[in-house]
């Protein structure tokens, strides 16, 4: 059999889900940073500001959909690792948000780099850490 007649052993759905898992987050990140850049150049409270603020929302909703589909396609161990990662990350994310909110209310407003809208990437770190801990535990 020649190399051109051998098909990819992975099912098409796995290839498509991998593509989705790469493309959809990229679309969200591009929409988010496009919105951030645009918001700095429009009048606050305007229709354009509202449209820009909502621009990343459908992409994030699509990202959630892709993530849930991926988890549903995992075996029990993969699901358990994801659950442990989320169980580790969710309370830490809450801690970050409520601490930042209370500091903001107390008058300690974030500088340009540490204000509330820029905190969301910090919530990814505990999730990735939880995933790494769970994978290490089960390997």
91-137 pLDDT per residue, tens:
998 898 888 878 878 887 767 656 666 777 778 889 999 999 999 99
What is residue 86's three-state secondary structure? Answer: helix
Decide if pLDDT at 30 tops 90: yes
Instruction: Give the pLDDT of residue 86.
Output: 93
Instruction: Give the pLDDT of residue 115.
Output: 66
**pLDDT range class, residue 8, cuts 50, 70, 90:** very low
Instruction: Give the pLDDT of residue 100.
Output: 81
Instruction: Give the pLDDT of residue 79.
Output: 95
Decide if pLDDT at 21 tops 90: no
For the chain, percent of residues with pLDDT exceeding 90: 49
Q: What is the DSSP string of 6-61?
A: PPPSS-HHHHHHHHHHHHHHHHHHHHHHHHHHHHTTS-TTSHHHHHHHHTTHHHHH
């Amino acid at each position: 059999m020649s190399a051109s007649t051998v098909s990819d052993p992975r099912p098409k759905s796995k290839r498509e889900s991998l593509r989705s898992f790469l493309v959809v987050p990229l679309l969200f990140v591009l929409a988010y940073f496009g919105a951030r850049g645009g918001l700095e150049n429009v009048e606050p409270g305007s229709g354009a500001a509202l449209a820009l603020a909502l621009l990343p929302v459908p992409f994030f909703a699509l990202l959630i959909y892709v993530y849930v589909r991926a988890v549903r396609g995992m075996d029990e161990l993969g699901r358990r690792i994801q659950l442990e990662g989320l169980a580790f990350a969710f309370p830490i994310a809450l801690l970050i948000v409520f601490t930042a909110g209370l500091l903001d209310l107390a008058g300690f407003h974030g500088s340009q780099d540490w204000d509330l809208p820029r905190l969301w990437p910090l919530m990814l770190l505990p999730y990735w850490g939880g995933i790494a801990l769970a994978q290490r535990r089960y390997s």
